[in-house]
Structure 1
């Protein structure tokens, strides 16, 4: 397995051809001057972003993958952006703004020192207005420190290589990128990075991740209630609920 020790190692391992390199700077004011940004979003853009670069453009003329266009989807090209941040806490807020502002498929690579985070989003044509795009589901890896990766993260970084993706069309290519982000998020719970033959359907994995988040949040809230509870009978009931939640979390973890 390829060893990734830096952000540049990651880019090199991606094996994007020179034909796809664009290297075009995007000014962040284009988002907050012309977009419908709230005060918190604009604050994140102004304070956290050092630079935005349209690093690669993947389209039939640069990567020789057919486009896909139908009544629901437009995959004419895939833009790969690099966003360099001075602070990392609000990167998902920034990702949401960028994904909504640019109508075609985006892979956003957030970089801060040796740390890297990837964002993707499923988009479809607005049924009420064919000129508009709706963001349906967003995906995020969370921050990965390339200088100190966990085994699951190392497997993801090595596997995120475009020659491993489907070349049938740009939609399938993009969904292969999404499936790897989902596999990483599942692996954060299970300790296993699984793609390919052993991979469960996307909808199944997403639902399992949603259930994990919901159950873990309830367990945290129940434990907090237990700390404050003085009544012995109520304490017993709360402990029983925590055990039920833990058992269910473990069962889902084993299914991932």
Structure 2
């Protein structure tokens, strides 16, 4: 299943009143989202085009804004960034794409639904924002990015179809822009869970979605620990130490299986 930006945007079902459809000069990202010389080179060399697709505000989608001591969600921006195809590659390197997504999220003061397009692949990412603790008026990322590559992270066409139905604006919570944004984030995490379980299932409640978030974090942590133990055991020369590492690996794999059961 091949995806493109227009197809994905159509699946969101956004009202015409929130569409912006304006090209954003790359210069703005270079000036506001590139803290290092390496980041400036990355943007200059790999970003082909930035499109501001839509601005979701209370007066354009009928969902109230959100304010508390930690954050202020007055609007949600939908952005599409097209990357240049590199010689001999049909898409950007994962590390480069992840860094670019982070730079875009950091550069925009609003929460962003970001589509990063590279060749035939599209990465969808989201990240919560909060007030910076030490700088008045400055917004920073609150936690890491939640991202999925489409369609690679779907275990099959059925899961992909189910996910595409789940992202529709009409199916998101409408109590506030924060709840709406979290609804999209929960949908992406459901797809990441489906990659491990083989079947897509949307969360039935915010409590279930929160439990899945925790289980996904545990799976990522335990998979990294299992990889570390395997590598260490492969290099170990002493038999007793090999046995010890393999026993530790079995314990981690049992914990990983238990975490996957929570997905």
Closer/same/farther in 2, CA of residues 198 and 169 from structure 1, 3 Å limit? closer
Q: What is the aligned-residue RMSD (CA, Å)?
A: 2.2
Cα distance in 1 for partners of 2:7, 2:106 equals: 29
TM-score by length of 2: 0.86
Distance 2:68 2:247 in 1: 51
- The Cα of 1:35 is off from its aligned counterpart by 4.3
| The one of 161, 175, 190 aligned to 1:183 | 190
Match of 1:104 in 2: 110
- Report how far residue 163 of structure 1 moved: 0.8
What 5-or-longer segments of structure 2 have no aligned partner? Answer: 85-90
What is the distance in 1 between the residues matched to 2:192 and 2:155? 14
In the other structure, the counterpart of 1:6 is 3
The answer for the alignment partner of 1:126 in structure 2 is 132
1:157 and 1:164 mapped to 2: Cα distance? 11
Q: Which of 40, 45, 55 is the aligned partner of 2:53? A: 55
Moved more, 29-38 or 118-127: 29-38
Count of matched residue positions in the alignment of Structure 1 and Structure 2: 252
**1:241 paired residue number:** 248
Rate the CA distance shift 1:230–1:128 in 2: closer, same or farther, 3 A. Answer: closer
Contact residue 29 and residue 104 of structure 2 kept, 8 A: yes
**Aligned match of 1:72:** 70
Q: What's 2:81 paired with?
A: 83
Retained in 1: the 8 A contact 2:126–2:147? no
What is aligned with 2:19? 21
- Could you tell me how far apart the structure 1 residues matched to 2:133 and 2:249 are? 44
| CA shift for structure 1 position 46 | 1.3
Deviations 1:129-160 (A, max 9, x none): 441112112333332138x9724333222311
Following superposition, the deviation at residue 202 of structure 1 comes to 4.4
**Aligned to 1:223, which of 224, 230, 233?**
230
What is the alpha-carbon distance in structure 2 between the residues aligned to residue 181 and residue 35 of structure 1?
Answer: 24
1:255 aligns with 2:262: yes
Q: Is the 8 A contact 1:84 1:110 kept in 2?
A: yes
In 2, Cα distance between equivalents of 1:204 and 1:98: 28
The CA distance in 2 between the partners of 1:36 and 1:57, in whole Å, is 23
CA deviation profile, 1:191-210 (whole Å, cap 9, x unmatched): 23232426754443333222
